[in-house]
Chains A and B, each alone.
Chain A
Amino acid sequence: MRNLRILIGGAMTLIVIVTALVALVWTPYGPTAIDILHRLAAPSAAHPFGTDAFGRDTLSMIMAGAENSIIVALAAVGLGAVLGIPAGLLAAARGGWTEELLMRGADLTFAFPALLTAVMITALRGPGAYTVMIAIGVFTAPVLARVTRTAAGVIWVQDYARAARALGRGRGAVTRVHILPNILSVLTVQITIQLSLAILAEAGLSFVGLGAQPPAPSWGRMLNDAQTYIYTAPFLTLFPGLAIALAVLGLNMLGDGLRDAMDLRRRRRA
């Protein structure tokens, strides 16, 4: 059951990744190719997912959109990791007021959901993929900082970490040799979950026009365009949403499955 979840989640994630990779070299039609004669065409053999108001092939747009979602999610979570993980490690290693300061800072960042940060950045420099990356990254950082801090705290009180300190190893060295390798699995699970949240957030921000700008394809904006034609071409609302749900569901199942598998192993060891 547990392995089944990892398997299904992994397979869904793989489908999305492979789709994005294929879109790099091939899509059935150009994702921005306009064909006004065949606009708002219902799904058919020529266009399995139909065409939008400009006659663009929905399948091709979804394939190119996968690329956009993955790049934005990776960049955003990467930014969150670069900010959050060192902060968490530092807080765990130093304790005292350093920890207090870093963790209260993390708490404060929680008051700014990705949407608010994106709104502020947009007010300054306009919308775009970078705006979304920064906004989601800023929101991811405190989550990763907190998870890192908690996991590292558990390792710091272990005998081997204490012994290394007693033998005169510096805090940085202990962090590198003992702490980081032992929390990598916890971080991997959390990063998987954050990637799914990032894809969801990117879709939401693009939906309200703060994300990737036309004609760059994005699942969120496709849904926004679809709303205009909800009476005449309802099928347009279906496929981009399914793509988002597939990507998010796959990553979530993968993350949850990995977490359970890890908990089980830890319990067996104990």
Chain B
Amino acid sequence: MGAVTHYLLRRCATLVAALFFASIIIFIVLQILPGDPALVILGPDAQADTLKALRHQLGLDLPVWLRYLHWIGGVLTGHLGRSTAYDSSIANLILQRIAVTVPLAIFAMLLASLLAIPVGAWAAARRGAVDGSIMAVTQIGIAVPDFWLALLLILIFAVHVTWFPAGGFPGWWHGTGAALKALVLPVVALAVPQAAILARVTRGAVLDVGLRDYLRTARAKGLREGAILWRHAMPNALIPVTTLMGLQFSFLLAGTIIIENVFTLPGLGSLLFQAIGQRDLILVQDLVLLFAGLVILINFLVDVLNAVIDPRLAQNLGQGLQ
């Protein structure tokens, strides 16, 4: 069996283990620690018989391990239970909301990469004043909270000039144009701070692979600088960049929770806050598992991607694991 296959199999095993332990942690924190979830949902003034009925309805009178199996079995088969607050199937709620959150995160990641990777590579290739000013701008970009940037964008592009809506989402079925327009400001607010971090890492990675040597050799051969940068230096610099992008996507997903709040977008993040406000513990539990699961899955995909880009890495990591 090749080193890459071996590594990928091991990585699949750790993926399953990570998802399992994440679900255990969430179950313990939200079902065991509160003592009585029915009391959390209904509040301290609840009547004894209402409490008893809810406990039975939620299956709280069953042994703990059976309750976990019920929950996780439901998650695996798509039966996420019913939301007590919305009186609707949680699976349906999530499907409606995911159509806002996932495009938001993907567009933001795309925009961040399109801004950051060329700029970072350019800074590394040019050095000098260009490099200095790019580094200074990105340093500031990292320090700007995305939700503050969101407010400033609203102030400029929705209050001063009314190019974009200050919030709300018309839904995809009323035409893609209006929906995309509603996503522009949130996407920019999410992308800019992440782009600043990504540009700095790209610059560092391109410098680390010895761009100067590539440039010297290739210039001697009479090649153009741009071709050298993109064809020779970048592929070797990709590993740290893709690894960071995986981590950033997790930050972006968490960031969408706050940004959806600013722009009142009906996504998973705003659903999560409504669920907390309404003490809908089952919905909170499912949503937290969904977010944590997405983070774990994305980092798994990045590791797989890195192993494909650079098989030597899989070999080293495989040895490191043993």
Q: Which residues of chain A have a CB within 8 Å of any CB of chain B?
A: 104, 107-108, 110-116, 119-124, 196, 200, 203-204, 207-208, 223, 226-227, 230-231, 234, 237, 240-241, 244-246, 248-249, 252-253, 256
Q: Which residues of chain B have a CB within 8 Å of any CB of chain A?
A: 14, 17-18, 21-22, 25-26, 29-30, 33-34, 40, 139-140, 142-148, 151-152, 154-155, 159, 166, 247, 250-251, 253-254, 257-258, 261-262, 272-273, 276, 279, 281, 284, 288, 291-293, 295-296, 299
Chain A contacts of B247 at CB under 8 A?
110
Contact of A234 among B148, B155, B279 (CB under 8 A): B155
Residue of B nearest to A226 (CB): B151
Q: Is the CB of B29 within 8 A of A223?
A: no
Interface of A is mostly: helix
Q: Least Cβ distance of A251 to chain B in Å?
A: 9
Q: Least Cβ distance of B246 to chain A in Å?
A: 10
Q: In the docked arrangement, what's the CA distance between A245 and B142, Å?
A: 9
Chain A contacts of B292 at CB under 8 A?
111-112, 116
Contact of B288 among A119, A223, A246, A249 (CB under 8 A): A119
Q: Is the CB of B144 within 8 A of A110?
A: no
23 contacts between A and B (CB under 8 A): A104-B18, A108-B18, A108-B21, A111-B22, A111-B250, A111-B292, A111-B293, A113-B250, A115-B258, A119-B276, A120-B26, A123-B276, A124-B29, A200-B143, A204-B146, A204-B147, A230-B151, A237-B155, A244-B148, A245-B145, A246-B143, A249-B140, A256-B139
Contact of B251 among A104, A113, A241 (CB under 8 A): A113
Q: Least Cβ distance of A247 to chain B in Å?
A: 8
Q: Kindly list 15 other residue pairs between chains A and B, CB separation below 8 angstroms, not including A110-B247, A116-B288, A119-B272.
A: A104-B17, A115-B258, A116-B254, A116-B291, A119-B284, A124-B29, A223-B147, A226-B151, A237-B152, A244-B145, A244-B148, A245-B145, A249-B142, A252-B139, A252-B143
Number of A-B contacts (CB under 8 A): 123
Q: Is the CB of A123 within 8 A of B40?
A: yes
Whether A253 contacts B281 in the complex (CB less than 8 A), given A115-B258, A207-B258, A237-B155, comes out as no
Chain B contacts of A110 at CB under 8 A?
247, 250, 295, 299
